[in-house]
Amino acid sequence: MGMDLGELNRIAKAMVAKGKGILAADESSGTIKKRFDKIGVESTEENRRDYREFLFRSTDGMRHISGVILYDETIRQKAKDGTPLVKLIEQAGSIPGIKVDKGTKPLPFSKDETITEGLDGLRERLVEYRGLGARFAKWRATYTPTQGRPSYNCINANGQALARYAALCQEENIVPIVEPEVLMDFDNDIDTCEAVTEWVLKETFAQLYYANVALEGMVLKPNMVISGMKAEKRAGVQEVAERTVKVLKRCVPAAVPGIAFLSGGQSEEEATAHLNAMNAAHPNLPWSLTFSYGRALQAAPQKAWSGRAENVTAGQKAFAHRARMNGLAAAGQWKADLEKQAA
């Protein structure tokens, strides 16, 4: 099957359509268990299915969602009434996608750094996932911006892996989401995050070029340029927005249809405010700026639902609210007082 760049570009554009964003519902079994532990829900296959099913059936929420990243288990699951979950996503006018990496492992001889695994057998898995309905995929690499890290070894190794993954996706007519994440869990200041993010993006796009990846048929999922969570003083909303846009202008070619930020541990409102500030101040960027949030879209619905069937409507309402807020932010039209109205 030859690569169809027109088709890849069409899907990539739909993934970053104005006022819409991507729901990252691809938590591994270990991660979803942590989320469920917080709300006192046992992480069984059925509970995971029930939870994701009510999100995908939330008409009000899904109208702001362009695509959904799924986990291997979820792309194979059926709703309670027997409808494949992939079909529910398509019926909501959204595009199904799949996480294909096998997670991060320690990078040898490199202090506290990781390499993302999952290239072996990926070509065959992509063929299967396409058959199951996936039209885009995701691969995440992580970088630590503290104590002299990341090393060039880490940036180079992950850049090559991201590029090989992206090329394999495009060969199978699946749009790759390329996710190089500079982590925000540390005490670094925003200057360090900016310098590391610029370096990581420069190297990642160099490797994409060497691997012949067509930029028109991909979506970038980067971190924002932001202070570490443990920093003594954290930069404000406008500073995060301006520094992030500055780095993206330096590093991301205009051929890329869109950039969908990860939330990376930001609070729900913080993630929305930052995205909004970028779009409000920069309406004419070469690429679309939107969201690909996990926790920042799901923490509220999880809490509202808490594993009880009678709370599904409340969970859907909470999800619809966050999806709408982020949809507005993706168009630069969010205002903080809209949050209070919903409370």
Burial category of 46 from C-beta neighbours within 10 Å (exposed 0-12, middle 13-18, buried 19 and up): exposed
Phi, psi of 219 (to 5 degrees): -130, 135
Catalytic residue, from 221, 230, 233, 335: name it. 221
According to the model, what pLDDT value does residue 340 have?
83
DSSP 153-209: HHHHHHHHHHHHHHHHHHHTT-EEEEEEEE---SS--HHHHHHHHHHHHHHHHHHHH
Residue matched to tokens 């729901």: 23
- b/e for 133-165, b at 16 or more Cβ within 10 A? bbbbbbbbbbbbbbeebbbeebbebbbbbbbbb
The first and second tokens of residue 204, run together, are 């990642």
According to the model, what pLDDT value does residue 341 have?
76
Strand pairing category for 219-220 and 258-261:
parallel
CB 161 within 8 A of CB 116: yes
According to the model, what pLDDT value does residue 4 have?
96
Where helices occur in 85-145 by DSSP H, the ranges are 85-91, 122-131
Task: Name beta bridge partners: 92.
Answer: none
- From first CA to last CA, the distance across the chain in angstroms is 51
Domain membership of residue 305 as a residue range:
5-342
The first and second tokens of residue 156, run together, are 């180079």
pTM: 0.97
Strand pairing category for 95-99 and 175-182:
unpaired
Q: CA 51 from chain center: how many Å?
A: 19
Domain count, the chain: 1
Whole-number Å distance between alpha carbons of 38 and 239? 32
| Residue 99 a catalytic site member | no
Whole-number Å distance between alpha carbons of 216 and 256? 5
Distances (CA, A) of 304 to 17, 39, 298, 341: 29, 9, 10, 17
pLDDT tens-place values along the chain, 343 residues long: 679 999 999 999 999 999 999 999 999 999 999 999 999 999 999 999 999 999 999 999 999 999 999 999 999 999 999 999 999 999 999 999 999 999 999 999 998 999 999 999 999 999 999 999 999 999 999 999 998 899 999 999 999 999 999 999 999 999 999 999 999 999 999 999 999 999 999 999 999 999 999 999 999 999 999 999 999 999 999 999 999 999 999 999 999 999 999 999 999 999 999 999 999 999 999 999 999 999 999 999 999 999 999 999 999 999 999 999 999 999 999 999 999 876 5
According to the model, what pLDDT value does residue 342 have?
66
According to the model, what pLDDT value does residue 288 have?
98
CB 246 within 8 A of CB 207: no
Q: CA 123 from chain center: how many Å?
A: 22
Strand pairing category for 114-116 and 104-106:
antiparallel
Q: CB under 8 Å to 162, separation ≥6 — which residues?
A: 116, 139, 141, 178, 179, 180, 204, 207, 208
According to the model, what pLDDT value does residue 343 have?
56
CATH of the domain at 147: 3.20.20.70
